[in-house]
Amino acid sequence: MIHSPGVLEVLESAPLFRGIPSDLLIENLSKSRLRTLDAGEVLLVPGQNNDLIYIILSGRLNIQSKISSIEPFAILGEGECVGEMSVLGGAPVSAYAIAATDCRLLAVGHTALWELINNSHKAAYNMLNILTERIRHTNQVMAESLEHEQGFSGDSKVDALTGLYNQRWTHERFERLLLRGIKEKKTNCILMLEFDRFKEFCEKYGQLGGDQALRDIAHTLLSCLRPDDHAGRHYGERFVAILPNTALAEACIAAERLRAEVKESLVVLPSGDALPPISISLGLTQVRPDDTLVRLFARADKALMMAKENGGNCVKLVE
């Protein structure tokens, strides 16, 4: 199965298997089987026992708390996985996984998965990153839901559209992190990013398309961050992230990785319809000993403008 046309290529670029040699993938996944789903078919149900992790070879899966939910809290696409939480934790499935489109999946048994993790430090590292992102996303969804239920939407820390922290909380949090980093003489960097030609995208695909683009890029941003990094919505279609204990050279590598991930990702509507990818411009700067948040944001903004003036879809820095 793994030798089928296109399957190995998808697996090699999948977040879980990225950087793992092909021969090791073939050896450990040779007994995995293909599963197909029609649009609307249910793959996983809350409370169900599950010992398989599914890699999406094509199509999209909606992850939702109720089978009748109008909008899922996560949309997974090619190369992404589902079922890992129940396999690794040994607990029942906690959410519905429903095919948003016709899907082809590779079903990997828990024994094969654990053997791969034992044989490859890279696989263990990839899985840790996936689990960290899942937990971060779940925490943000729960925080947003709790704030909404308690009627605190006006004072919420979470931006309702993207699931990122909102502007007020972001600025307050970044101010504290900035002062702490300067006091402890840590090397920190600020990353500022903005969509390229976002107005044109919205004019062509409407508010629904624009909103989904914001959500998807926020999701990609979170998936590229480390556990100690922090991200939030600055304003409009502009986001910021602070990267603690990170030199400018390392931050450039992280920013380039984020830029490439965004450029290669389709914008997928809740209906499962895919829109073209959207690119981003990114500006970077490193914290100085005498910095204030205003000065720091001003330099990051300058770097961002340099990237946009260069045609977008690139990273620029101001030291």
| Claim to verify: residue 255 and residue 165 sit in the same structural domain | yes
| Claim to verify: residue 254 and residue 163 sit in the same structural domain | yes
Between 159-163, 186-190, 199-203, the lowest mean confidence (pLDDT) is in 159-163
**146 inside domain:** no
| Claim to verify: residue 79 and residue 224 sit in the same structural domain | no
Read off the CATH number of the domain in which 238 is found. 3.30.70.270
pLDDT of residue 154: 46
> What tokens were used for 211?
């909103």
Structural domain boundaries, residue 74: 7-134
Q: Indicate if the pLDDT at residue 194 is higher than 90.
A: yes
| Claim to verify: residue 196 and residue 100 sit in the same structural domain | no
Instruction: Classify the C-alpha dihedral 108-112-114-118 as positive or negative.
Output: negative
Q: Give CA–CA dist 159/70, Å, rounded.
A: 19
Among 103, 134, 165, identify where a domain stops. 134
| Claim to verify: residue 182 and residue 287 sit in the same structural domain | yes
- Say how many Å lie between the first and final Cα of the chain, rounded: 50
Q: What is the pLDDT of residues 5-30, one digit of tens each?
A: 678 888 888 888 888 998 898 888 88
| Claim to verify: residue 201 and residue 56 sit in the same structural domain | no
| Claim to verify: residue 179 and residue 106 sit in the same structural domain | no
Tell me how many domains the chain contains: 2
Task: Confirm whether pTM is higher than 0.85.
Answer: no
Burial of 113 by CB count in 10 Å (0-12 exposed, 13-18 middle, 19+ buried)?
Answer: buried
pLDDT of residue 190: 94
Instruction: Look at residues 68, 66, 94, 67 and name the one whose alpha carbon lies nearest to residue 82.
Output: 94
Q: Give CA–CA dist 22/53, Å, rounded.
A: 19
Instruction: Classify the C-alpha dihedral 104-109-112-115 as positive or negative.
Output: positive
Greatest CA separation found in the chain?
Answer: 59
Task: Determine phi and psi for 215, rounding to 5 degrees.
Answer: -65, -45
Among 134, 167, 185, identify where a domain stops. 134
> What tokens were used for 49?
């026992």
Q: Give CA–CA dist 215/206, Å, rounded.
A: 15
pLDDT of residue 148: 53
| Claim to verify: residue 256 and residue 293 sit in the same structural domain | yes
Q: What is the pLDDT of residues 125-174, one digit of tens each?
A: 888 888 777 676 666 656 555 555 555 444 567 888 888 888 888 888 88
Question: Is the separation of the CB atoms in 52 and 87 below 8 Å?
Answer: yes
| Claim to verify: residue 39 and residue 169 sit in the same structural domain | no
